[in-house]
Amino acid sequence: MICKLGIRVRPVVKAAATCDHLLVAVSVLIVDDHPAFRASVRAMLELDGFEVVGEAEDGTSGIEQAGALEPDVVLLDVALPDMSGFDVAEQLAPATKVVLTSSRQAFDFGRRVRSSRALGFIPKDDLSGDALRRLTETP
């Protein structure tokens, strides 16, 4: 089912046939090379109502998993061991919403964040379900 926000939704509780009456979870793929970060972000997002459908430790596996899992959102680290998050974002399906993240600030990457196909950037220190929701739910 596609909700009015353009996000494919998976019903968590079946209550009615429209988006307005369903509790839905946005599916997320986390692509980051640090296992502890992936685990903590997974726990945080799941507690905040997101459905984390997978994790990837590098760009190549992130691209593969995004194609196989078709998540609504890919939370993508800018610095991966095999390629940059910017390069990964360019290889993902156009319908996939991408949010970049890093331990650095957006200004450290200059115009690359703004010129990328990502919806936006969230520093890892500021990452939360609310911050991700604000970027992904903007029409």
**DSSP secondary structure letters along 10-30:** EEEE---SSGGGSEEE-EEEE
**What CATH number should be reported for the domain whose range is 26-136?**
3.40.50.2300
What is the pLDDT, as a whole number, of residue 50? 96
Query: Would you list the domain boundaries of the chain?
Result: 26-136
State yes or no: pLDDT of 44 exceeds 80. yes
Identify the CA nearest to 56 among candidates 85, 90, 20: 85
What does pTM read for this prediction?
0.81
**CA angle, 8 then 117 then 121, to 5°:** 90
Identify the CA nearest to 25 among candidates 4, 46, 56: 46
What is the pLDDT, as a whole number, of residue 104? 82
